Chain A
Amino acid sequence: MTKTWVTPGGVHPPENKHQSVTMPIGHLPIPEKLLVQLSQHIGAPAKPCVTIGQMVLKGQKIAEAVGAVSVPMHAPTSGTINAIEDRPIAHSSGMSGPCIEITTDGKDLWIDHESLADYENASPKALLQIISEAGIAGMGGAGFPSAIKLNPGDRRPINTLIINATECEPYITADDSAIRERSAEIVEGIHILSRILGNPGKILIGIEDNKPEAIEALRPHVADTGISVVSFPTKYPSGGEKQLIYILTGQELPSATLPADAGMVCVNIGTTYAVKRAVVNGEPLISRVTTVTGDACGVNRNYETLIGTPVRHLLEHNEFNRDACSRLIMGGPMMGFSLSSADVPIVKTTNCILVPSYAEIPDDEPSQPCIRCGLCAEACPASLLPQQLFWYAQANDHDRLEAHNLFDCIECGACSYVCPSNIPLVQHYRHSKGDIVKARQEKVVSDHARSRFEFRKQRMELAEQEKEAKRIARREASEKAKASAGKKTAPLDASSGNAAPASSSAADIIAAAQARAVSKQVSPEQQQAKFERSIAGAEMRVQMAAEKVAEVDDSQTEEQKNTLNAALEGAKQKLGQAQTRLAEHLEQHKELNEEQVK
């Protein structure tokens, strides 16, 4: 037995896993239409690379990754592109998003694909490229592009690879059944990951002890491979990345850091299977194991489901009874989200479709006031004080929320699960997190605006001072001119002290004109300072434009990027002009000076 550590808190909801593992992983008929969502991962949505009416083959790329954090999409079967438009997507808000609809032809014809059986001699870079091209994103829930996670860079050497087979959510058995039936391929996938990560010293498969068949299925394949299967007592949410890392290693991941910062990579076990299929069989990620369960379905079972299959298709083939169904959940009963429509497609992260009866999950009762009983604090796996967070969330007290470490909440729902007052605590935390993030962004914007305003004010003051200096210079020059004119016209009348007698109006005019000329004729030094200022200003503008260009992320459109680039170019040109002018000026004055010297 490998030593494991015990996390604080946690709950033991009824597991309800037995219903869906009575039969092996099944296959459903290909649905008439598939709806491939373009954003089913963390990062930028993929960009369609097919046109409406185009024929596609199974495994053909239909949308390309955009930018660094993104994954491509592939046709899950052969057929015709029917539509590229916004449809209701798999999202807790019930919003719509860009999708590609494929009318299937039932032939299920593969595109030519190459396998790479000899992965042991392939370079990690080539393997990463395959994974990236296969559109693999973490299949445990978050959907982070795997190729990025598996490439933490040279600065962060990986010494521990953790395979997450915990599957701690009730009802879900997708990983469990996949391990039972595909353990050889899964272990092969782990070997590939190990090769990519430079053969980390420790490879641990973390699995809860409620899956003895899966543990037994893995054992023969990991014998003498350096991979350890570590089982630990079942408790929700042991499968949270931070929790699992602590259970297996006794190390806590410091707040706001990634596992890679601590030399670890944590991958869902379903992803390892997808990696194996991609590398060894050359198949992109176009299907996954999804559990269909809940008493509102007559049949509870796992299916190898094509990505893009409408949820409705799964329900109809499993004796779904709409009247008995209390809600439609994508995911498990703890962290899954309810869908308002059954037309939403299965995505790469859909491990479960749960259709509970009213007896299993009744409608929510109205919330009662929080009595701060503390059951939530006992259940919290992160050792937060959910009752205090709730209190401050209601009061919108951001400072207190942050002092109570709101952002360390993993939204596992254990607090709401035990709350005797039926308070939707997690929802309050999500809302507050959103509010705080928005407030932070607004602060950045307003800080920027303030510094710009202050800079402008400073510049205006400087200009005002210069004007004032010029005015003074002009006045002095004119007084000097008047004085000298006075001396010329009335050299004998010195005692009067009056520099400008009324009779000498012609001399006056001349003196004034001279003074004007003097004041207009800026000294070379002033001229040079002026040029230098304009250069400094231009440099500043170049810098600001460059910053803006650097800040460009994938959320901005092509047009916006072009505008920013154009602005940068313009600023650079102006800087160049200003520098040329200064150079010319210096050249002139050098000549002048030299002449004077001569």
Chain B
Amino acid sequence: MLKLDIPPVTEERMLVHRAIARDSEAFAELYDRHVVRVYRHIYYIINDQKEAEDLTAQTFLQAWEAIGRFQPRGAPFASWLLRIAHNLAVSHLRARKGDAQLHESLVDDGLPRNPEAVVERQAEEERVRRAVLRLGDDQRQVIILRFVEELDYKEVAEILGKSVAAVRVIQHRALCALRKIMKVEEVA
């Protein structure tokens, strides 16, 4: 049988078009491609495995319900999904009373350190994480994909449908915005 070599981006576009036409098999394939990234994005915000799973499921359910409104010529599907995930996670965080949990991943990296310095460092990391949640969609997605997911510029550019140069500019603006947010918090 003839096997066509279809580029991944084109293949994804075809899946999205089929999903818009209510093809649940196509949507399930999109789910397979993006579920881990969506989960990790939510986990970064929520820091709870069970809640992150529930919100991940909810993200895909909402996406399935809204897929008819998705504009294939606009932002890529992954970026659209991550925006839904972020909005759900932040709403959930607001509903949760207080958010004093520190990230498990931030608590111990196995390095022997001065305990006071460790606590101070964890508090700083937590402040930055909270500041990240206040960034706009593009800036937040670039920061999470670059620094939390450790993707290179080309990978981030592909996911967000932007050029590498644009990703670098957004990265710079995002770090400047984080600096500003943290400065304002310090004064307050």
Verify that A and B bind, or say they do not.
no
